[in-house]
Amino acid sequence: MTRPELIRIAERRGRSVEQIVFRFALDMGMVALTGTTDADHMMDDLEVFEFHLEPGEVRQIERLGA
């Protein structure tokens, strides 16, 4: 189940929920491992380097794990 908070952030940013979670992981200093042979999926993954989350969005996502 996808959290409504993530859906709202993704919709506001014009990104997928997966991209938001991937960007969050990178912003937190995590090493996100991906592996795909699908060109479209690879492009989706690379698009996370085209944006950053706002501090308020990061706090929102952090609260999901609390």
Q: List per-residue pLDDT tens for the chain, 66 residues long.
A: 589 999 999 999 999 999 999 999 999 999 878 788 888 888 988 999 999 999 999 999 999 986
pLDDT value for 1:
55
pLDDT value for 18:
93
- Specify the pTM: 0.88
Q: How many CA atoms within 13 Å lie on the side-chain side of 27?
A: 19
What DSSP letter does each residue of 7-54 carry, written as one string? HHHHHHHT--HHHHHHHHHHHTT-------S-HHHHHHHHGGGG----
Instruction: Please state the separation of Cα 23 from the chain's center in Å.
Output: 4
pLDDT value for 23:
96
In the chain, where the domains are located = 4-64
